[in-house]
């Protein structure tokens, strides 16, 4: 009954983070507005994904 994903204030819908409060590898799943899906595993990768998702615009259309 405690397996609900964490919700983070200020982050667009489509982003889910699991495992942040436990001593296990956190995993973030992000469904972008362009419908691309990204998954980050590990705290540093999750934090980077949170930062990118929080900007609110799609990063996938920009040239890398």
Which of these, 26, 25, 31, lies nearest to 11 by C-alpha position? 31
- Which position among 36, 37, 43, 57 is part of the footprint of Zn ion (CB under 5 A)? 36
6 binds Zn ion (CB under 5 A): no
Least distance in angstroms from the C-beta of 63 to Zn ion: 13
39 binds Zn ion (CB under 5 A): no
> Quick check: 6 and 21 in contact, CB under 8 A?
yes
The footprint of Zn ion on residues 13-32 (CB under 5 A) is: 32
The number of angstroms, rounded, from the C-alpha of 47 to the middle of its chain's C-alpha atoms is 8
Interface residues toward Zn ion, by CB under 5 A: 32, 34, 36, 58, 60
């Amino acid at each position: 009954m405690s397996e609900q994903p964490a919700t983070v204030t200020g982050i667009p819908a489509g982003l889910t983070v699991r495992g942040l409060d436990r001593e296990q590898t956190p995993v973030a799943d992000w469904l972008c507005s362009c419908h691309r899906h990204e998954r980050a595993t590990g705290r540093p990768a999750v934090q980077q994904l949170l930062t990118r998702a929080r900007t609110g615009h799609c990063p996938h259309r920009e040239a890398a």
